[in-house]
Amino acid sequence: MAPALVHVVDDDPAMRDSVAFLLDTAGFEVRLYEAGAILLKRLAPPVSGCILTDIRMPGLDGLELFRRLRSAGHTLPVVMMTGHGDVPLAVEAMKLGACDFIEKPFGGEALLQALHSALERGGHNGTSDPSLQEFVRRLLTLSERERQVLDHLVAGGTSKEIGRMLDISPRTVEIYRAKVMAKTRAGNLQELVRWAVLAGFA
């Protein structure tokens, strides 16, 4: 079987090189692009594999690149790389149909898992996935206050900002956040946000 192809779009040469090395070592075929416009120009049917793109780039950012790919009829699964504080952008990308996002700096294992999962699902974000259905069941166990904290977390709010919005202390927000993580069994904030968006709760 031919190795899966990953199209990597990032304007940072060091980032492109390190991701390429990691993916190459893991047995993927890799193509590198320093800008979204270059990817759009070079993608010719039949296209295969998936796209791994940075969300913040000069010119065409990851979100706009995603929109243009879809309007050009490309249905390849897309995984977004985000920097700290880009959660609202990543949420927007997932609502548009991106498969996943991964926050920098990320470990090799987390990246490979995101790509394998995106390739398995194809361009769909899998609402029939049994683990997603299980997550939805767990979400229903949240109290009203926990749901409010979850909503603000998904919107990218910090504990301080959420505390101001809900008129509680940042420390109390942290306690609610820990309860949300425990009840949903999310491993980290990225996982929590991803599942909440896929479940249509965000």
Averaged over successive runs of 10 residues, the pLDDT of the chain (202 residues) comes to 82 90 90 89 79 88 87 85 77 82 84 84 56 80 90 85 91 91 84 79 67
Q: How far apart are CA 18 and CA 3, in angstroms?
A: 19
- Residue 122 has what pLDDT? 61
Q: Which ranges in the chain are annotated with CATH 3.40.50.2300?
A: 5-121
Closest CA to 36 of 85, 106, 121, 93: 93
* Of residues 105, 120, 98, the one with CA closest to residue 52: 98
Q: What's the CATH class of domain 5-121? A: alpha beta
The tokens for 11 are 């304007």
Q: Which helix (H) or strand (E) element contains residue 29?
A: strand 29-33
54 forms beta bridges with: 81
Sheet bearing 5-9, strands edge to edge: 29-33, 5-9, 50-54, 78-82, 100-103
Distance in Å from the first CA to the final CA of the chain: 38
Contacts of 38 (CB under 8 A, 6+ apart): 9
User: Residue 9: what pLDDT?
Assistant: 92
Return the CATH fold of 130-198.
Arc Repressor Mutant, subunit A (1.10.10)
> Distance between CA 55 and CA 107 in Å, rounded?
18
Q: What is the pLDDT of residue 52?
A: 92
* C-alpha angle 26-103-2 in degrees, rounded to nearest 5: 25
Q: What is the CA radius of gyration of the chain?
A: 18
Q: For the chain, where do the domains classified as CATH 1.10.10.10 start and end?
A: 130-198
